Amino acid sequence: MIIVTGASRGLGRALSERLTAKGFEVLGLARNASETPFECLSCDVSSYESVKDVVKQVKARRVEVTGLVNAAGIAQMNLVIAMTSESVRRIIETNLLGTINCCQLVAPLMLRQKSGCIINFSTIAVPLSLKGESVYIASKAGVEGFTRSFAREMSDFGIRVNCLAPGPIDTDLIRGVTAKQIKEIVSRQVIQKQFGADSVSDLTELLFDPRSYSISGQVLHVGGI
């Protein structure tokens, strides 16, 4: 079973659908579990107790958990001085703490089989230090650092941990980004093209492929940086 957070919409939904289509058993998690072609449970990743509750349900099923995709994320494109403290807190709690909560509680389900693949999500906005995204970037830079260190911690248990960092993908997350800004971001990638959820799904599949056994602790920028 592969657990995917943020699975009800956006990138998480697209990844879950792709993995399901490829024959993986997917358990989606979302704050508002909607109708999906895969099983989806309600879970607020920013809440340790909420994640723990889901993990308890998964444990009771006695299924082998082989993967975790931390796709849940929120953004608000705004100057930090114009943001409410509540918005700042929500972004950090969902993006960074949510990723840590899920890794901390789901990884133990993989320890026994001494194998597993965890994929976290960052953004190309981190190396580009984009204006108006400082809190979002802070949360994702935290995810990158966490990924690198957590990968070392999990290495002895055969669990690989990597991070995908896409550019602007056409989802709700970049609703506030103008076409001009997207063009500017894309022009700074190695491959100057706007990639879609399909490209991220391809990379996700690649990381789940057993032939990726030697890749861990890496941040892969979609399109290159």
Question: Strand pairing of 159-165 and 116-121?
Answer: parallel
Block residue for tokens 């001494």: 114
For the bound state, the minimum distance from the C-beta of residue 105 to other proteins, rounded and expressed in Å, comes to 6
Residue 121 host element (H or E): strand 116-121
Draw the binding track, 39-58, toward other proteins (x: CB under 8 A; -: no contact).
Answer: ---------x---x--x---
Q: Do 71 and 7 touch, CB atoms closer than 8 A?
A: yes
Q: Binding residue for other proteins (CB under 8 A) from 7, 45, 72, 105?
A: 105
User: Is 136 considered catalytic here?
Assistant: yes
Q: Which tokens in the block code for residue 171?
A: 């989802």
For the bound state, the minimum distance from the C-beta of residue 174 to other proteins, rounded and expressed in Å, comes to 35
Phi, psi of 131 (to 5 degrees): -70, 140
Stretch that binds other proteins, among 2-10, 68-76, 105-113, 140-148 (CB under 8 A): 105-113
As a whole number of angstroms, the distance between CA 216 and CA 167 comes to 21
Q: Is 97 in the site for other proteins (CB under 8 A)?
A: no
Q: Binding residue for other proteins (CB under 8 A) from 115, 127, 157, 170?
A: 157
Q: Interface residues with other proteins (CB under 8 A)? A: 48, 52, 55, 59, 104-105, 108, 111-112, 153, 156-157
